[in-house]
Amino acid sequence: MCQVHPDYNESSGLVVDGSIRIAADGNPVLIGTECSECGFIVFPSRSFCRSCLSDNVADVKLARTGQLETYTVAHTGQEGIEPPYAFGFVNLENVQIYSLLTEWKERSLEVGDPVELVLEKIRTDSETGEPLFGHMFRPMEEEQ
């Protein structure tokens, strides 16, 4: 889960914990790391390759859309997250990531569904009362 930095400003494109940026079009973009030695891609971004341990890595923007690989609905909650909530694995071109899912109650989820990245409030910080935002994926609208 990514928390928005206290100095977060949507118009600045400020990095959110190094793994989310706001693109020029106002949409969130996930930032991963691609290894120049072995080509391994990982999310969130890291200073070295998790596969071959090389430090010859670079940030790479990940796709905003993907496919739901698997998911579950939790009926007991983590602290600060009201159940039920859904989470699962999403395939984005060359990387698979774990993520909370949103708008799953409005549209039924199916393995293989196309999903898109959104930046939404995950919970409220218990110490400061400030909202904490992070990446989530939601089912994509069906084309008519």
Global pTM reads: 0.80
What is the DSSP annotation of 85-112? EEEEEEEETTEEEEEEE-STTTS---TT
- 5-31 confidence digits (pLDDT tens): 444 444 444 444 568 888 888 888 999
Q: Say if residue 54's pLDDT is above 90.
A: yes
Q: Which residues pair with 98 in a beta bridge?
A: 89
Q: Say if residue 2's pLDDT is above 70.
A: no
Question: Residue 19 has what pLDDT?
Answer: 82
Q: Which residue has the higher pLDDT, 22 or 99?
A: 99
5 by DSSP, 3-state: which? coil
Q: Which residues pair with 99 in a beta bridge?
A: 88
Question: Residue 90 has what pLDDT?
Answer: 97
DSSP 10: G
Question: Residue 8 has what pLDDT?
Answer: 45
- How many Å apart are CA 57 and CA 38, to the nearest integer? 10
- pLDDT level of residue 113 (50, 70, 90 thresholds): very high
- How many Å apart are CA 16 and CA 5, to the nearest integer? 6
Tokens of 25: 């079009």
Question: Residue 53 has what pLDDT?
Answer: 93
Q: How many CB atoms lie within 10 A of CB 5?
A: 12
Which uninterrupted H or E stretch holds 23?
none
- Residue 68 near residue 131 (C-beta atoms within 8 A): no
Question: Residue 41 has what pLDDT?
Answer: 94
Question: Residue 108 has what pLDDT?
Answer: 81
